[in-house]
Amino acid sequence: MIENYNIYILSAKEKRIYYSAGGIALLAAAILFFNSIKFAILLLPILFYGQKELQKMLADRRMKKLRSDLVDFLYSISSSVASGLHMRDALKEAETALEEGALLREIKVMNGKIESLNMGEKQLLADFAQRSGIEELKNFTDSYYACRDAGGDLTAVISRGMQVITDKLMIERDMKTLIAQKVFEGKLIAALPLVVILCLRLASPDYLLPLYESGAGRIIMGIALSSMIFAFCYAKKLQKVVFKEDITSALPEFLSRLSLMLNSGMVLQTALEQLGSEGESGNLLLKEFQKLSADAAKERVPVLRKLRDFAMKEKSRELLRICGIMTANMDRGTELSEKLDRESEFLWHMAKKSVEEKSRLAETKMAFPMALMLLVLILITLAPVMMTL
């Protein structure tokens, strides 16, 4: 069982493979750039830094697969619940719907504990949601059981939960697709100095001797290596560009969470109280709302008034509009839920547009490492000639 999905711990075998491959790469870089194996010792910090980056990359890849499988899991749960099965039986059915991966292993462990230890599926799902760090799974679990206890439409709750997760996955996928080509081009250009040096050493070994035998030459090669590493890291950073969360970008998830509670049979006041009393959330607006709820309880004022004051303070027109909708439709459960759903869909659309703009901006930023690598290429090819004059 994985205690924290956001942290990837390399196995002994993975460490051996990484350090073997990394050591060979450092030796090759020391020979190509400095014509000396001794310089590999100076490059050792790169190896230790690279392990941390590798762990982050593997953790991100595992989380991506987990979130992708979560959609299939919810589809399976939805069809099982719609056919009249309880969650306990739906979890057993989900084993046949999932591909091999971390989520399937988790479901098998849950089913094993349910059968052998008679543990409650709600507790197991909540534990998995906490360990995985997937906020949507926690929201889904809470909404499902609130809806079940209130006698609401379980299928609608699950469908809405799937929609929230799918929207987030689509935003992330669209963002990466928009900048994938530029990132790939940046990595290719970042590797060009390595290719040029290798070709020159094979074709004309004496040509690069001034760069290996003088202090100025070693400095030039050090600059070239540092620039190549910087360009790789820069391209990787752009690939991870994400939409910076603010009140507006956090609002769709907040509305989806509130709408799920309303669909589960709660009235607005009860739903707001439960949102304000839940545990720590990864959503920026939910965090702020929990603080506002605590302040409202102390001052004995409606939490909607606190939320409206907060929206005015943050100058969020979208949140002000939502507060107005909730105030005007406080006693209209189904009608209010439908309006919140429409607002949530609109805000998701705006978030996607914002991500597209961020991705295009990332494309333009790729011009900097490309230009840097071209300068490094010119420096490497012309420096030996200039140094012999």
Average pLDDT over residues 295-308: 86
Q: Which stretches of the chain are DSSP H helices?
A: 12-34, 39-42, 44-82, 87-94, 102-116, 121-132, 135-150, 154-203, 209-213, 215-239, 247-263, 268-277, 284-299, 303-314, 317-328, 333-365, 367-388
Tell me 115's DSSP state: H
Dist CA 162 CA 177 (whole Å):
22
Which band of pLDDT confidence, cut at 50, 70 and 90, is reported for residue 161? Answer: low
Q: Please answer whether residues 261 and 271 qualify as being in contact, where contact means their C-beta atoms are separated by less than 8 angstroms.
A: yes
Pick from 102, 133, 164: which residue ends a domain? 133
Confirm whether 350 is domain-assigned. Answer: yes
Confirm whether 389 is domain-assigned. Answer: yes
Long-range contacts of 322-325 (CB under 8 A, 24+ apart): 322/251, 322/255
Confirm whether 140 is domain-assigned. Answer: no
Dist CA 121 CA 143 (whole Å):
14
- Output the CA torsion 256→257→258→262 (10° steps): 90
Q: What is the DSSP string of 324-339?
A: HHHHHTTT-HHHHHHH
Confirm whether 146 is domain-assigned. Answer: no
Residue 243 has pLDDT above 50, yes or no: no
Dist CA 264 CA 272 (whole Å):
13
Dist CA 340 CA 336 (whole Å):
6
Do 77 and 157 share a domain, yes or no?
no
Confirm whether 144 is domain-assigned. Answer: no
State the total domains in the chain: 2
Q: Please answer whether residues 121 and 238 qualify as being in contact, where contact means their C-beta atoms are separated by less than 8 angstroms.
A: no
Residue 93 has pLDDT above 80, yes or no: yes
Do 240 and 381 share a domain, yes or no?
yes
**More reliable by pLDDT, 194 or 19:** 19
Dist CA 54 CA 39 (whole Å):
23
pLDDT value at position 333?
56
Which band of pLDDT confidence, cut at 50, 70 and 90, is reported for residue 385? Answer: confident
Do 125 and 160 share a domain, yes or no?
no
Do 77 and 191 share a domain, yes or no?
no
**For residue 20, what are the domain limits?**
1-133
Do 323 and 241 share a domain, yes or no?
yes
Do 73 and 161 share a domain, yes or no?
no
Confirm whether 332 is domain-assigned. Answer: yes
Token code pair at residue 134: 């997937």
Do 126 and 158 share a domain, yes or no?
no
Confirm whether 260 is domain-assigned. Answer: yes
Do 127 and 177 share a domain, yes or no?
no
Average pLDDT over residues 331-346: 74
What Cα–Cα distance (Å) separates residue 60 from each residue in 10, 63, 132, 174?
Answer: 14, 5, 12, 17
**More reliable by pLDDT, 208 or 13:** 13
Pick from 133, 162, 194: which residue ends a domain? 133
Residue 176 has pLDDT above 50, yes or no: yes
Q: What is the pTM of this model?
A: 0.70
Which band of pLDDT confidence, cut at 50, 70 and 90, is reported for residue 15? Answer: very high
**More reliable by pLDDT, 370 or 152:** 370
Dist CA 93 CA 98 (whole Å):
10
Do 2 and 99 share a domain, yes or no?
yes
Do 122 and 207 share a domain, yes or no?
no
Confirm whether 142 is domain-assigned. Answer: no
Q: Establish how many alpha carbons lie within 13 A of residue 285's alpha carbon, considering only the half-sphere containing its beta carbon.
A: 24
Do 206 and 313 share a domain, yes or no?
yes
Do 352 and 263 share a domain, yes or no?
yes
Average pLDDT over residues 20-48: 85
